[in-house]
């Protein structure tokens, strides 16, 4: 068995049995997303001919998921490919597409798709002007750089934006990568991405924050305590929406919320702003859903507004960012 297919099978992706290579694929950005999608396209029978990646981590990931695929400069990747996968950070994408267009490397008849949730087709206009078929295929999944990423891709929803004439092409590519396509209008792309970031990225922050507070309270195994509670809360939220809300805000327990704020101010002042912001939004949603009556919600909002005004924002610590939605 060729090394590529052994790697794909080990990563949890089923290789195409005897399918001929149909497209020469180039991966620009062999990071957490690009390398996994490249492996999936190879498993579907396409020929991954080149990749680009600047970091040592990208080189290691490409060697593991795309063994034998050369790492080349971005213009050479485009020149060698029929399908170009642009798996780069959101802010990098516009300059990359435009810069490649200035070199004249895009050619009519090529296809390209980017994996950014924040962008639609407009960012690919310089390539489209050169005759390239443009698509936006965003896997609505978080990639952590672990072996589980390949398994997470199977059945993952992909937010797809493309011209109506290219809909079948987009669907085919997503299905070949193991995903499930759903379509997002160009004008809705930013709101769609904001929704996913709110749900996924902010959820990780909330879980980590809760775990830190538990450890500060002397609970050594925070994950064991949080796992069943958060699993139930997520299930309630997905199935019942605001009707699944529990806790002091849903009961209008102003005294409990006041106690929380006083304790956090004393023991974890860096957490006060987050608690206030989430409690305010929770109160607003509980009121809108009828979970709280107006006379129950007003004292909560007054308390939280006063706490927000009285507590200056704590300085934030910026760490090395990880790939995310």
- Report yes or no on 43 lying in a domain: yes
- 3-state SS assignment for residue 43: helix
The domain total for the chain is: 2
Do 124 and 257 lie in one domain? The reply is no
- Report yes or no on 325 lying in a domain: no
Do 286 and 236 lie in one domain? The reply is yes
Tokens of 279: 């409690």
Apex CA 314: angle with CA 195 and CA 250, to 5°? 50
pTM exceeds 0.85: no
Tokens of 237: 């939220």
Rounded-to-integer distance, Cα 125 and Cα 265, Å? 50
pLDDT of residue 86: 98
Do 10 and 157 lie in one domain? The reply is yes
The answer to whether the beta carbons of residues 250 and 214 sit under 8 Å apart is: no
Rounded-to-integer distance, Cα 168 and Cα 165, Å? 8
Q: Which residue among 187, 221, 238 closes a domain?
A: 187
Do 61 and 150 lie in one domain? The reply is yes
- Report yes or no on 254 lying in a domain: yes
- Report yes or no on 136 lying in a domain: yes
Q: Which residue among 134, 153, 187 closes a domain?
A: 187
Domain around 82:
3-187
pLDDT of residue 312: 56
pLDDT less than 70: residues of the chain: 1-21, 145-147, 311-325
pLDDT of residue 149: 83
- 3-state SS assignment for residue 62: helix
Do 303 and 205 lie in one domain? The reply is yes
- Report yes or no on 163 lying in a domain: yes
pLDDT of residue 3: 41
pLDDT of residue 236: 94
Do 132 and 154 lie in one domain? The reply is yes
Do 166 and 220 lie in one domain? The reply is no
Q: Which residue among 154, 187, 220 closes a domain?
A: 187
Do 220 and 259 lie in one domain? The reply is yes
- Among 197, 299, 289, which Cα is nearest to 258's? 299
- Report yes or no on 42 lying in a domain: yes
Instruction: Give the domain CATH number at 87.
Output: 3.40.50.720
Do 125 and 215 lie in one domain? The reply is no
Do 261 and 304 lie in one domain? The reply is yes
Do 227 and 152 lie in one domain? The reply is no
- Report yes or no on 315 lying in a domain: no
The answer to whether the beta carbons of residues 179 and 150 sit under 8 Å apart is: no
Do 235 and 153 lie in one domain? The reply is no
- Report yes or no on 192 lying in a domain: no
Q: Which helix (H) or strand (E) holds 275?
A: helix 272-288
Rounded-to-integer distance, Cα 299 and Cα 242, Å? 20
Strand order in the sheet with 83-86: 47-52, 24-28, 83-86, 111-114, 133-139, 157-161, 180-183
Tokens of 238: 């997905």
């Amino acid at each position: 068995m060729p090394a590529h297919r052994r790697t794909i099978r080990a990563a949890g992706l089923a290789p195409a049995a005897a399918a001929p290579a149909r497209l020469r694929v180039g991966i620009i950005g062999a990071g957490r997303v690009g390398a996994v999608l490249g492996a999936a396209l190879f498993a579907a029978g396409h020929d991954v001919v080149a990749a680009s990646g600047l970091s040592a981590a990208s080189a290691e990931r490409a060697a593991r998921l795309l063994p034998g695929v050369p790492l080349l400069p971005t213009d050479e990747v485009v020149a060698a490919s029929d399908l170009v996968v642009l798996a780069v950070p959101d802010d990098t994408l516009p300059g990359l597409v435009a810069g490649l267009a200035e070199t004249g490397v895009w050619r009519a008849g090529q296809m390209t798709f980017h994996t950014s949730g924040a962008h639609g087709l407009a960012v690919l206009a310089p390539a489209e002007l050169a005759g390239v078929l443009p698509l936006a295929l965003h896997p609505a999944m978080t990639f952590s750089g672990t072996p589980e990423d390949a398994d997470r891709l199977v059945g993952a929803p992909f937010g797809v934006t493309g011209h109506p004439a290219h809909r079948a092409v987009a669907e085919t590519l997503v299905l070949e990568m193991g995903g499930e396509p759903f379509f997002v209008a160009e004008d809705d792309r930013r709101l769609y991405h904001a929704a996913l970031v709110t749900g996924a990225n902010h959820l990780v922050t909330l879980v980590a924050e809760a775990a830190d507070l538990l450890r500060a309270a002397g609970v050594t195994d925070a994950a064991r305590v949080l796992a069943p509670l958060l699993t139930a809360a997520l299930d309630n939220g997905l199935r019942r929406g605001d009707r699944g809300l529990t806790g002091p805000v849903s009961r209008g327990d102003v005294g409990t919320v006041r106690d929380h704020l006083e304790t956090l101010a004393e023991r974890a002042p860096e957490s006060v702003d987050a608690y206030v912001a989430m409690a305010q939004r929770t109160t607003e949603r509980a009121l809108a859903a009828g979970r709280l009556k107006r006379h129950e919600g007003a004292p909560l909002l007054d308390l939280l507004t006063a706490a927000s005004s009285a507590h200056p924002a704590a300085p934030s610590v910026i760490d090395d960012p990880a790939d995310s939605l």
